Amino acid sequence: MTSRSKPADLRRTARWWFFIIGLFLLAGCSPAEQVSPPVVTPARLPPATATVPRATLTATPTPAPTLTPAPTENPRQCWQEGGQIVTAALPAETLPYPLPVRVYLPPCYDQLPAMRYPVLYLIHGQNFSENQWERLGAPAVADRLIAAQQAPPFIIVMPGERSWEQPADTGWDEAFLNVLMPWVESHFRTLEDRRYRAIGGLSRGASWAIHLGLSRPDLFGSIGGHSPPVFWEDVSRVRTWLAAIPEEEWPRIYLDIGDADQQQILASARWFEDLLTQGNYPHEWHLNVGRHNEAYWQAHTEAYLRWYTAHWWLAPP
């Protein structure tokens, strides 16, 4: 990682505080002051009508794949053996560094070569890295839930991000959509359908989940924001994004935050939840006891995974 000069650090710190202050001021506005945002095309994202580029699969043809199985009285022994973690660093032209990623593959992945799986993208918080969700226990919880048949087998993708900037200044959204997702769907046996693709994150990762999930609802059927501030760059766009989603394609949305979280972040999360409530957009809102820290997120990781996977059970064809 390249070193940064002190002036650059000060500029980034100043931008972050302007971001926080802007959210706090916005949260104090009346609903009348929040309406009629300009129609803004998401910066750097491919057009909403476009599909994410797919890399060509080169695997030997196999019989028609089965989907995620419903619970069975005789699960395979490998379900009890746990999943595996695959790591990679993906070259991305829009980033000054290779995009790091950790991928959790569920138990029995190698033993069931015809099976395809739902995918959950989990994004870490600011000042952390792609191993944060692993450290919080997401793969371990997935192992346990899958072994107990309390969740279907699924893949977790945990990418890394190294910026404090707003989306338009990072190039990370382009790398996510045009590099990471095609790589995942060409290297792993995923179900390439928005209903079986979820995106979530904590803190800044929640900002990204909201940004990507609402600006590209054609790609994600579920969005999770855990201790979520909304990017100030996105504040004027959220209403437009929501209004553009056909009712029959509204994503599932889950929001949660600790009651002792940072005041500005709590204000931003409440603003977003109020917006969803005023627009009658279906969502879950959980105001829990806790702060903006890993102890809070770790305590709720199992609840998150249960919510993401709850509707993914599929009977075999």
Q: What is the pLDDT of residues 250-267, one digit of tens each?
A: 999 999 999 999 999 999
Contact 229/203 with Cβ under 8 angstroms? Answer: yes
Measured CA distances, 163 to 5, 9, 128, 133 (Å): 15, 11, 11, 18
In one-letter notation, the amino acid at residue 114 is A
pLDDT of residue 304: 98
pLDDT of residue 67: 53
The rounded distance, in Å, linking the Cα atoms of 86 and 267 is 37
pLDDT of residue 163: 86
The rounded distance, in Å, linking the Cα atoms of 239 and 98 is 33
Compute the residue count for the chain. 317
pLDDT of residue 44: 31
For residue 306, give the nearest of 171, 178, 149, 190 by alpha carbon. 149
The residue with greater pLDDT, 79 or 152, is 152
pLDDT of residue 168: 86
Phi-psi region of 149 (alpha: psi -120 to 50; beta: other; left: phi over 0): left
Question: Which whole number is the average pLDDT over 278-305?
Answer: 97
pLDDT of residue 51: 30
Q: What is the pLDDT of residues 47-83, one digit of tens each?
A: 332 233 323 222 223 333 445 555 655 567 888 889 9
Q: What is the pLDDT of residues 82-99, one digit of tens each?
A: 999 999 999 999 999 999
The yes-or-no verdict on residue 298 having pLDDT over 90 is yes
Q: What is the pLDDT of residues 114-144, one digit of tens each?
A: 999 999 999 999 999 999 999 999 999 999 9
Residue 245 tokens, joined: 């989603």
Averaged confidence pLDDT in the chain: 81
Could you tell me the domains of the chain?
88-309 (3.40.50.1820)
**Which 3-state string (H, E, C) describes 239-295?**
HHHHHHCCHHHCCEEEEEEECCCCHHHHHHHHHHHHHHHHCCCCCEEEEECCCCCHH
Task: Write down the pTM of the prediction.
Answer: 0.79
Question: Which whole number is the average pLDDT over 24-36?
Answer: 33
DSSP string, the chain: -----HHHHHHHHHHHHHHHHHHHHHHTS-HHHH--PPP-PPTTPPPTTSPPP-PPP-SPP-SPPP-SPPP-SS--GGGGS--EEEEEEE--TTSSS-EEEEEEE-TTTTT-TT--B-EEEEE--TT--TTHHHHTTHHHHHHHHHHTTSS---EEEEE-----S-GGGT-HHHHIIIIIHHHHHHHS-B--SGGGEEEEEETHHHHHHHHHHHH-TTT-SEEEEES-PPPGGGTTTHHHHHHHS-GGGPPEEEEEEETTS-HHHHHHHHHHHHHHHHTT---EEEEES--SSHHHHHHHHHHHHHHHHTT------
Packed helices 6-27 and 263-278: angle between N→C axes, nearest 10 degrees:
50
The residue with greater pLDDT, 40 or 289, is 289
Question: Which whole number is the average pLDDT over 192-199?
Answer: 95
Q: Quote the percentage of the chain above a pLDDT of 90.
A: 70
Strand order in the sheet with 284-288: 84-90, 99-105, 155-159, 119-123, 197-202, 222-226, 252-258, 284-288
For residue 213, give the nearest of 191, 242, 246 by alpha carbon. 242
